[in-house]
Amino acid sequence: MNTFLELREKEREKLSKSRSEEDFYKQYDKIVSDRAGQNPPHLARDIKSIFDNLFPKTNADD
């Protein structure tokens, strides 16, 4: 797997420290732009996992 496209520990920490969904998405956009728009499935899964842990859905919004 190309290490350029893996989620770096520093990026993982920044995402994990997000206080709101808006902050999270700003960090996400920066990560993708740093990779020239590349967002392969394994990277998206890692990011989604962090998002789901930080902002769990209660199905109240559905």
Q: What is the pLDDT of residues 51-62, one digit of tens each?
A: 999 999 887 655
Domain ranges of the chain: 3-53
Look up the pTM and report it. Answer: 0.82
| Cα 58 versus chain centre, distance | 20
What one-character-per-residue DSSP string does the chain give? Answer: --GGGSPPHHHHHHHHT-SSHHHHHHHHHHHHHHTTT---HHHHHHHHHHHHHHS---SS--
Residue 17 has pLDDT above 70, yes or no: yes
